Structure 1
Amino acid sequence: MASKSKENAAEELKPTEEKGCGQRFMSIFGECELSKNLIRRNKNSIYWIPFRFVDAILRGISQVVFVSNPISGALILSGIYLGGIVIGHGTLACTVGALLSALYFKQPSDAIQDGLTQFNGVLVGSVTFSLYPAIFGGVLDLRSWSITVLGSVISVPIQVALVGLLQGVKASFKNLLEKEERKEYGVPGFTLPFNLTACMVMSLLLATHQDSLDTSSQNPNKNSTAEIVPSSEDSLLASDVIVGVVKSMGQVYAVNTLPGSLLMLLGVFIYSPLLAFIELSGACLGTLLGLYLNPGYPGDVYAGIWGYCALLTAGATGGFFAILTPRAVPLVILAISTTAALQKTIQPFLQIGGLPVFTFPFVLTSWVFLLVTTDNGVLYRTDNPTVPERNIKIWMDTVTESRKLKIPDFIQKIRSNKIEDAA
């Protein structure tokens, strides 16, 4: 068995040399197997440590939107920089802080390399460095940088502790492969560590600036640098709504930039065209619901503030952690609608402390809908969260195989009934 495993490992490492240019080019899509193979082949070489470091940083940046691809991460980081040079620098600093924290706490090397321990720190950096000066008029001095980077470091142990707390939160689902009747699945922590850390960081930063802040005059729906547009029928333009849908991608990272959002969408598309479509559809529905739920602040809708949580909910429930079958589509739509309603509900409570909603609506809604058990195959959970195309292919192959197996059984029943009748 040991010799076989070595042979298999060697076979996995060969392809990059034998592949043609076309195959190598295609391997940069999805999870970027080209990068993974290079790291596997040179994991014991100290000269490849910088490459592994950069790969882990970029994958961490892309993991925020359920993507694991360094090229996608580079495009998303470029989009963040288009939102502001300081925001980009702050995001990088906090990502590095989270990576070093994960190494200190001895987290699994595969999880670190895949960016799973860094993505909360990414958001701590991008959101704080974007919102604190833009909305609250704060100054990004040495104290602000220190508190924010420390927050990214703290987000890692919070994430680890949350994983332990969620170990007992599971629900039983019908097993797609039918090897056993039902199987238990839990829920990940998503961006809850970021939410908790961001509340702490923002509260600390705001505590020293209360005298210069007039929170009562702030827009309670604001979550980024949105320009408030007077509410009128003339201002409700279809083009502005479309821009708001696209900007929802940027608002995941709290940056209000159309070119940056387009770059981020391109990054998601490189990983999975279907995931990009699902997330954009979620942003579209969330934005339209925002127009209905929040008619007094169309500027917030046009800035993408009502689409970013819905975008994340669509990605989580509509293809990454569950398989997007035809029966699952109404459930995903209901989850997106619930996200928008929950965002409207919790805004006043967080506004008491002068805080935005962050991604609380996405986290709470996704937890609920990923734990909805059914006996009719409405929701199939996946054992391997990855590109939605792969999960759908597994589902289609399983359905095709089950139909092939049922046909002979059906014929056998007909034959047995004929024999009984003849007797």
Structure 2
Amino acid sequence: MQDKYFPLQLAECCLRGISRVILLNNPLSGALILAALLLESPWQALLWMLGLLWMLVSHVILTCMCVCSEEVSSGLHGFNGMLVALLMGLFSSAGDWYWWLLLPVCLGGVATSFLYSSLASFLGRWDLPVSVFPFNTVTLLYLACTGTSNPYFPNYPAQPTGAPESTNHTQLHVPQLLQGALLGVGQIFACVTLGPSLLILGAVFLFSPILAVSAISIMAALTMKPQGLFAPSPM
């Protein structure tokens, strides 16, 4: 892609950045994940792409790096901005197509770029990765500065969930187990329906079939909980 036009290089970087959220590095996988996000919620997909794009472009401008550089083209600069936009959209109680939310999403993408560059120069002395630390920091600061009563950026209140009921279960529902494993893959991108989850799993399979099988196995093991998957045995 180094000899291609700038829009094509930028599109590849964005797609790789999407796939980097789940440790993939494939633009085709990123395209499948983007299709899943659009299928789940076009509004959320718009927020995620804006956060990713603003972090990527601001990092290129701040560090005077070209788009075809190795770190940028591999998608390392962008996924933090996407994750910030993801949680801003999920926590917002203003509903879909609330255009005021575009402002903190874009600013959050730029803030993650500043924080990523600063941490990279500091942690690089000990050969430590920056990883998702910028995403966590910017998201916590945003939630701390807005809250539930903010007139422009209201959020859902954080309420602890109740303790699950303690019941004895013995019979396993295999269809529910498989569905729970597939939905668990989609939950990484806040997708709660089966169609987008299957697309995300297809993106993982496209990058590595072994990784896809491992993801299903791990999710199936994690979903084997008393609630919902086991039903009481007939008396």
The 5 A counterparts of 1:54-65 are 54-65=11-22
Q: Conserved in 2, the CA contact under 8 Å of 1:138 and 1:209?
A: no
Indicate whether 1:267 and 2:203 are aligned.
Answer: yes
Higher relative contact order, structure no. (Cα contacts within 8 Å, ≥ 6 residues apart) = 2
Q: Specify which of 265, 272, 281 is matched with residue 217 of structure 2.
A: 281
CA drift at 1:268: 1.4
Match of 1:219 among 161, 172, 185: 161
Structure 1: runs of 5+ lacking an equivalent: 1-38, 170-185, 222-228, 302-423
Paired amino acid for 1:119: F
Q: Which amino acid aligns with 1:112?
A: V
How many Å apart are 1:57 and its aligned residue? 0.9
Q: Which residue pairs with 1:127 in the alignment?
A: 87
Structure 1 equivalent of residue 130 of structure 2: 189
Aligned length: 222
My pick for the range that moved more, 240-249 or 200-209, is 200-209
User: Does the 8 Å contact 1:60/1:117 carry over to 2?
Assistant: yes
After TM superposition, give the deviation of residue 56 of structure 1 in Å: 0.9
- TM-score normalized by structure 1? 0.47
**Cα drift, residue 85 of structure 1:** 1.2
Cα distance change, pair 208–239 in 1 and its aligned pair in 2 (3 A) = same
For residues 77 and 183 of structure 2, the distance between their equivalents in structure 1, rounded to whole angstroms, comes to: 26
* CA contact 2:94–2:155 (8 Å) conserved in 1: no
What is the aligned partner in structure 1 of residue 33 from structure 2? 76
> In 2, distance between residues paired with 1:196 and 1:93?
19
- Give the Å deviation of 1:287: 3.1
Alignment of 1:222-371 (within 5 A): 233=169, 237-288=173-224, 291=225, 298=227
Contact 2:91 2:155 in 1 (8 A): no
- The secondary structure found in structure 1 opposite 2:223 is helix
1:110 to 70, 80, 89: 70
Percent same amino acid among aligned pairs? 27
Relative to 1, partners in 2 of residues 1:214 and 1:234: Cα closer, same or farther, differing over 3 Å?
farther
Instruction: Assess if the C-alpha contact under 8 Å between 1:82 and 1:257 holds in 2.
Output: no
Structure with higher Rg: it is: 1
> Where in structure 2 are the equivalents of 1:40-59 lying within 5 Å?
40=2, 42-43=3-4, 48-59=5-16
- Work out whether residues 16 and 27 of structure 2, in 8 Å CA contact, stay in contact via their aligned partners in 1: yes
- C-alpha deviation, 1:75, in angstroms: 0.3
CA distance in 1, matches of 2:63, 2:91: 32
One-letter code of the match for 1:206? G
Q: Which SS does the other structure have where 1:246 is aligned?
A: helix
CA distance in structure 2 between the partners assigned to 1:231 and 1:243 by the alignment:
23
User: For residues 280-308 of structure 1, what are the alpha-carbon distances to aligned partners after superposition, in whole Å with 9 as ceiling and x for unaligned?
Assistant: 333333333xx2xxx6xx47x9xxxxxxx
CA 1:267–1:274: 2 relative to 1, 3 Å? same
Segments of 5+ residues of structure 2 without an aligned counterpart are 230-235
Q: 2:116 aligns with which of 155, 159, 168?
A: 159
Alpha-carbon displacement from aligned partner over 1:344-397 (angstroms, at most 9, x marks no partner): xxxxxxxxxxxxxxxxxxxxxxxxxxxxxxxxxxxxxxxxxxxxxxxxxxxxxx
Q: Does residue 203 of structure 1 match 2:151?
A: no
Check whether the contact 1:80–1:250 (CA below 8 A) recurs between aligned residues.
Answer: no
In the other structure, the counterpart of 1:18 is none
Structure-1 residue corresponding to 2:94: 138
- Secondary structure at the aligned position of 1:151 is classed as helix
TM-score, length-scaled by structure 2: 0.80
Contact (CA 8 Å) 1:124, 1:197: kept in 2 or not?
yes
Q: Does the Cα contact within 8 Å between 1:94 and 1:121 map onto a contact in 2?
A: yes
Match of 1:149 among 92, 106, 119: 106
**What letter corresponds to residue 71 of structure 2 in structure 1?**
A
